[in-house]
Structure 1
Amino acid sequence: MAIVNVSDSTFKNEVEGQGTVLVDFWAPWCGPCKMIAPILDELAGEVDATIAKVNVDENPESASRFGVMSIPTLILFKDGQPVDKVVGVNSKEALKSLITKHQ
C-alpha cells in the first residue's frame, strides 16, 4: 500500500476509519526520522496496512492529541483506535510484527 501524508485536518478521515494504519509522527530536521523513512517505504509494500506520515512541525494538534513527546513516534491504529506505540527507530521486522499482531 502507499504511504499517505496526513494533516491535522485530514487525520480523522485518513486514520480514524476502518482498517489498520501505522502513523509515523516525524519532522524534516529529525535524524532518526530520516533513518526510518526507507524502512517504512519498504514496509508499505509488504503489509496489509496503511502507513501514514504526520509532520509534527506542521500538524502539532495531532501530535499533542496522542501525547507524542519525541520523534519518531509510531502509533498503530486499528479501526480508528490506537492499539500500540513505539518510539525511535525500529527494524522492519519489528514493525511488521507490531502490525501483524493486531490484524
Structure 2
Amino acid sequence: MLTQIESTEQFESAVNGYSPLLVEFFQPWCKYCQAFFPTLEEFAAQGTIPVIQVSGEEFPQIFDAYGVDSYPTLIVFRGGQPFAKHAGSMPMEELKNWVEEALQA
C-alpha cells in the first residue's frame, strides 16, 4: 500500500509504527519523481513493506530533518530510525534488491 502523508503526526506515527518502512521523499514538480511513481506504486502493491510518500512542498521540515536535498530520495526506516538511504530513482529490480539488502543487513 502506498500512502502520501498528510501531517507531521502521520509521518511520525508511520515511522514509529512500522518497522521496516520505506519512505519516498519527493517534489510534486520533479520529473524524475513523476517518472518513478509507477515503479514505486507497483512496488508498494507487492506488499513487501509499507511505503509512504512525503512531499517537500508540504513538509520541508521533514526533508531538513533527514538531510534530503535531491529528489526522489528513498529511506528505509527500521525501529523508527533511518537505516538505508538512496538518492534518485531506480528500476523495479534495483529497487527490490536495494530494499532486500537493507532488510537483511
| TM-score after normalising by structure 2 | 0.89
Provide the aligned length of Structure 1 versus Structure 2: 102
Deviation at 1:100, TM superposition (A): 1.7
Q: Distance in 2 between the 1:16 and 1:63 partners?
A: 17
1:79 aligned partner: 79
Q: Does 1:14 align with 2:14?
A: yes
Check whether the contact 1:25–1:74 (CA below 8 A) recurs between aligned residues.
Answer: yes
Identical-pair percentage: 34
**Contact 2:3–2:53 (8 Å) recurs in 1:** yes
1:57 alignment partner, SS class: coil
Separation in structure 2 between the aligned mates of residue 72 and residue 12 of structure 1, nearest angstrom: 20
1:97 matched residue in structure 2: 97
**Larger helix share, 1 or 2:** 2
Cα RMSD of the aligned pairs, angstroms, is 1.3
CA deviations on 1:40-80 (whole Å, 9 max, x unpaired) are: 11101224201100001100111110000111111111121
1:65 alignment partner in structure 2 = 65
Q: For structure 2, which runs of at least 5 residues remain unmatched after alignment?
A: none
CA–CA distance in structure 1, aligned partners of residues 12 and 24 of structure 2: 15
- TM-score with structure 1 length normalisation? 0.90
